[in-house]
């Protein structure tokens, strides 16, 4: 895992790139790649690429970046790459390329990317199985190629001022370069308070955008831009459903095996949930003895129903792993608060748990850890899979529900907001379709609440730019109502915009690569049509999970952030759920 950066002055009258700016962008990301750094700038200073390296595959100096495929080495002439990620099928791709006569000088997946691009051009991304943010400069075509993996596990941000495009793994790194405008984006601000994270392609700044997941883009000298969505997971949710328990078990084992590919040890984040336990079981079967597992516990929950430690340790014992348990106390939060805010590249209400378990993994000497993220989205583990269809089926029967609901909300909200969740006032207004019901269930604040603490004109501009209900409706377009629609919503919005992004910044804060075997395009294509449940998924290991885990009702992963925040801000007014924490995060983000 690494940090990539690039500057390309593509317009004829654009100034030459500032090498010091490129250095500032790259240097900001030293935590993403403490094992090495590299930089390349063209002779005419029209383009430059830089790289911070966390060495996982071929950690030798030969694997350093930017990496080159020389003018004599391929049909496209000189290619230079700066790449962040891991390609899990690189060995198979390399064998294919070697059979065609191509020669390799390293054992890295980076060199495979170069040869594949040299052969196939932008379409090569469809052959890659993994997580990646790729920047390639093609000296022959004088063009810059940007690409992001199918689910957007790895981020890639860019800023285009009409003359020069800048790209990096972090928004804050682009800001550190000193050349991007820092006007705040109302859509991003509104999106954060509605969803608890900033939805792609927005960032906190109007000038910076996030390349959408499953998308590649080319920028040519002269300014021609081509953009293409090469992977849309929703296509596989529109296909007919078909069962097959054996197919599921084989698919789980296959994706875990692929995600274990590394030249350094690989550990697993282990909680008391089915997802991480099942990943642990398969990883232990593949690796054998000595697998490192890491569990996070909280002093406030010790011995209670939300204490994950005892059951996680039982799973570790069942599979003979080398278990690392870390207990977090409120006193541990305060010293880390400023560092958390620094590394949280875009504001998010989540990620604190991942930050601390990644810290524990790094302290245990690991560079790579597997996470169970994605299981709840694919196999229907959230309460939303039961609640949203029920709400839609009932509220959808009310004629003119949204209009009637707005009237009810206007009348009832002053009373309900004082005694219970304000969402109850909007049940009829939003509950008639899947987009509205999802917003009602997942929304941190509902749109009508925002003018109470944000400027009214800002809210209006933000809602016009974001179009939350329209965007949610587009997510489920063409997908049958029910379970599959909820999979689409949870995968695109909660997992894509929050969980995966949090895993990136929280892991990289400790120079730890977090891999997500359940968020994998090949795996998704195999299991999306099976209709498998969490129980089906949890029965795939050869050695069964402990019965206590299989029979345990889902509780969700909780952490006492609300109490911690109130503890560090004496006199602060407590707010429902994560609302107070959201305002704290936002204040820190704006102040930065």
d(CA 4, CA 84): 6
In angstroms, the CA 366 to CA 266 distance is 7
Q: Which of 506, 259, 275 is nearest to 267 (CA)?
A: 259
- Asked if residue 2 lies in contact with residue 53, where contact means CB atoms within 8 angstroms, the answer is yes
H or E element, residue 269: strand 266-269
Half-sphere exposure of 526 (CA within 13 A, CB side): 18
- Supply angle C-alpha 490, 495, 496, rounded to 5: 110
Question: Which pLDDT tens digit goes with each residue over 53-93?
Answer: 998 988 889 999 999 997 444 444 599 999 999 999 999 99
Question: Cα torsion for 300, 565, 375, 253, to the nearest 10°?
Answer: -70
**What residue spans in the chain does CATH classification 3.40.50.620 cover?**
237-380+498-591
**Residue 364 exposed, middle or buried by CB count within 10 Å (0-12, 13-18, 19+):** middle
Output the six-digit token pair for 206.
């109007």
- Is the pLDDT reported for residue 572 higher than 70? no
187-191, 419-423, 487-491: the lowest-pLDDT one: 419-423
**Three-state DSSP class for residue 453:** coil
Structure confidence by residue, pLDDT tens digits, 275-333: 999 999 999 999 988 899 999 998 888 887 788 899 999 999 999 999 999 998 888 88
Digit-coded pLDDT (tens) for 110-161:
999 999 999 999 999 999 999 999 999 999 999 999 999 999 999 999 999 9
User: Considering the chain, what is the average pLDDT of its residues?
Assistant: 92
Question: Does the global pTM surpass 0.85?
Answer: yes
By CB neighbour count within 10 A (0-12 exposed, 13-18 middle, 19+ buried), where does 327 fall?
Answer: middle
Give residue-wise pLDDT tens across range 477-529. 999 999 999 999 999 999 999 999 999 999 999 999 999 999 999 999 999 98
CATH topology (fold) of 2-231 = 3.60.20
Tokens representing 258 are 């692929």
> CA-CA distance, 204 to 588, in Å (whole number)?
12
pLDDT band at residue 403 under the 50/70/90 scheme: confident
Structure token pair of residue 504: 């990136």
β 47-53/36-41 pair status: antiparallel
Strand pairing report for 79-87 and 130-138:
antiparallel
327-374 confidence digits (pLDDT tens) = 988 888 888 999 999 999 999 999 999 999 999 999 999 999 999 999
- Per-residue model confidence (pLDDT) at position 419: 63
Cα separation of 312 and 550, whole Å?
12
Higher per-residue pLDDT: 551 or 165: 165
* Segment among 392-406, 435-449, 503-517 with least mean pLDDT: 392-406
Which has more confidence, 29 or 406? 29
The radius of gyration of the chain from alpha carbons, rounded to an integer in Å, stands at 24
258-261 long-range Cβ contacts below 8 angstroms, 24+ apart? 258/88, 258/89, 258/129, 258/517, 258/520, 258/522, 259/88, 259/370, 259/515, 259/516, 259/517, 259/520, 260/286, 260/287, 260/370, 261/57, 261/86, 261/88, 261/90, 261/91
Residue ranges, CATH 3.60.20.10, the chain: 2-231
Q: What percent of the chain has pLDDT over 70?
A: 93
Identify the CATH class of 237-380+498-591: alpha beta
Please report the pLDDT score of residue 57 as a whole number: 87
Q: Phi and psi at residue 346, in whole multiples of 5°? A: -125, 150
- Could you report the per-residue pLDDT of 163-184, keeping only the tens digit for each? 999 999 999 999 999 999 999 9
554's tokens: 């889902």
DSSP class of residue 445 equals: S
Please state the φ and ψ torsions of residue 103, each to the nearest 5 degrees: -115, 145
């Amino acid at each position: 895992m690494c940090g990539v950066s690039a500057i390309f002055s593509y317009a004829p009258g654009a100034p030459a790139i500032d090498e010091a700016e490129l250095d500032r962008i790259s240097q900001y990301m030293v935590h993403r790649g403490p094992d090495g750094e590299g930089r390349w700038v063209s002779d005419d200073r029209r383009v430059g690429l830089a790289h911070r390296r966390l060495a996982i595959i071929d950690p030798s100096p030969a694997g350093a970046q930017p990496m080159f495929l020389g003018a004599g080495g391929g049909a496209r002439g000189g290619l230079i790459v700066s790449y962040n990620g891991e390609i899990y099928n690189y060995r198979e791709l390399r064998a294919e390329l070697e059979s065609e006569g191509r020669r390799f000088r390293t054992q890295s997946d980076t060199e495979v990317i170069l040869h594949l691009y040299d052969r196939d051009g932008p379409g090569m991304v469809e052959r890659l199985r993994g997580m990646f943010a790729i920047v390639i400069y093609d000296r022959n075509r004088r063009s810059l190629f940007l690409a992001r993996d199918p689910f957007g596990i790895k981020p890639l941000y860019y800023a285009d001022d009409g003359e020069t495009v800048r790209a990096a793994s972090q928004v804050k790194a682009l800001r550190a370069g000193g050349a991007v405008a820092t006007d705040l984006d109302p859509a991003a601000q509104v999106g954060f308070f509605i969803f608890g994270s900033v939805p792609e392609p927005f960032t906190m700044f109007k000038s910076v955008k996030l390349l959408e997941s499953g998308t590649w883009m080319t920028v040519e000298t002269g300014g021609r831009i081509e953009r293409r969505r090469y992977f849309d997971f929703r296509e596989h949710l529109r296909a007919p459903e078909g069962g097959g328990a054996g197919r599921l078990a084989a698919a789980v084992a296959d994706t875990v095996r692929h995600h274990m590919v590394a030249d350094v040890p690989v550990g697993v984040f282990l909680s008391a949930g089915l997802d991480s336990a099942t990943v642990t079981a398969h990883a232990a079967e593949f690796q054998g003895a000595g697998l490192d597992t890491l569990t996070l516990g909280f002093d406030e929950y010790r011995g209670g129903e939300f204490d994950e430690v005892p059951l996680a340790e039982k799973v570790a014992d069942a599979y003979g792993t080398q278990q690392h348990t870390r207990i977090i106390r409120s006193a541990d939060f305060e010293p880390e608060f400023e560092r958390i805010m620094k590394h949280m590249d875009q504001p998010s209400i989540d990620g604190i748990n991942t930050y601390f378990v990644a810290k524990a993994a790094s302290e245990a000497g690991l560079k790579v850890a597997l996470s169970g993220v994605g299981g709840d989205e694919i196999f229907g583990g959230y309460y939303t899979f039961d609640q949203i269809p029920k709400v839609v089926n009932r509220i959808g029967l009310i004629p003119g529900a949204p209009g009637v609901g707005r009237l009810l909300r206007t009348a009832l909200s002053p009373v309900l907001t004082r005694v219970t969740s304000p969402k109850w006032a909007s049940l009829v207004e939003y509950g008639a379709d899947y987009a509205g019901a999802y917003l009602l269930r997942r929304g941190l604040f509902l749109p009508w609440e925002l003018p109470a603490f944000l400027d009214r004109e800002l809210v209006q501009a933000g809602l016009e730019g974001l179009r939350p209900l329209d965007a949610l409706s587009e997510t489920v377009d063409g997908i049958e109502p029910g379970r599959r629609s909820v999979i689409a919503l949870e995968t695109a919005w909660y997992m894509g915009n929050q969980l995966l992004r949090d895993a990136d910044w929280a892991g990289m804060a400790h120079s730890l690569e977090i891999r997500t075997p359940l968020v994998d395009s090949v795996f998704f294509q195999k299991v999306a049509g099976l209709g498998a449940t969490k129980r089906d998924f949890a029965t795939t290991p050869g050695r069964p999970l402990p019965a206590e885990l299989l029979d345990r009702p889902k509780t969700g992963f909780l952490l006492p952030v609300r109490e911690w925040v109130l503890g560090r801000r004496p006199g602060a007014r407590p707010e429902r759920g994560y609302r107070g924490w959201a305002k704290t995060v936002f204040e820190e983000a704006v102040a930065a």
